[in-house]
Amino acid sequence: MHPAPVDRLIAELGKLPGIGRRTAQRLAFHILRSSDEDAFALATAIREVKERIGLCETCFNLAEGPTCAICSDPRRSRELICVVEEPQDVIPIERTGEYRGLYHVLGGALSPIDGIDPDDLRIDELVRRVEAGEIEEVVIATNPTTTGEATAHHIGERLRDRVTLTRLASGLPVGADLEHADEVTLGRALTGRRSV
């Protein structure tokens, strides 16, 4: 129906989460209508992010270089770690302005039905960070879903009696993801966190 490069662009755009065939077609035709400068800027941004962005060697957040901006910031509290599932979960917590500690990104949540076991997540790395001795509190901020709660429970079992464990307080609706929570709700959840 379309020239092969257009079909390929539609197919690639359709692989993005939440993008169906119709939306992929609209995006492809938007790119075709865009100026060469805008289209090439998009292509360059995609290439650049794939070439230059990796994971922080300490917390596994997104980083340009070996260490992320948060781990490199000397103003951050080194005694406090907030555990999240994915790098995008750091963003809404940072937007609250309530949290000044470090992070630990697990890379997902436990889901035996999907074949995601503790060894598939960065839980051992978290335990090693705690065992290094500087950490006083671990805030477990996994999503309030079945898999997030299972992950929180597993981390709680691994770290019990080694460090103070807290969990985000109520205010986040069950079944919701952190990236969709507003700043006020997430701020209250951080302020009112509780022991695990």
Nearest to 2 by CA among 32, 41, 23, 35: 32
Domains and CATH numbers, the chain: 4-52 (1.10.8.420), 58-195 (3.40.1360.10)
Give 61's pLDDT tier (boundaries 50, 70, 90). Answer: very high
Residue 184: strand, helix, or coil: helix
Give 75's pLDDT tier (boundaries 50, 70, 90). Answer: very high
Per DSSP (E only), the strands in the chain are: 54-55, 62-63, 80-84, 102-105, 137-140, 164-167, 194-195
pTM for this one? 0.80
Give 55's pLDDT tier (boundaries 50, 70, 90). Answer: very high
- Lowest average pLDDT, out of 64-73, 96-105, 165-174, goes to 165-174
> Are the beta carbons of 95 and 183 closer than 8 angstroms?
yes
- 8-41 tens-digit pLDDT: 999 999 999 999 999 999 999 999 999 999 999 9
> Are the beta carbons of 111 and 142 closer than 8 angstroms?
no
Give the residue-averaged pLDDT of 39-48. 96
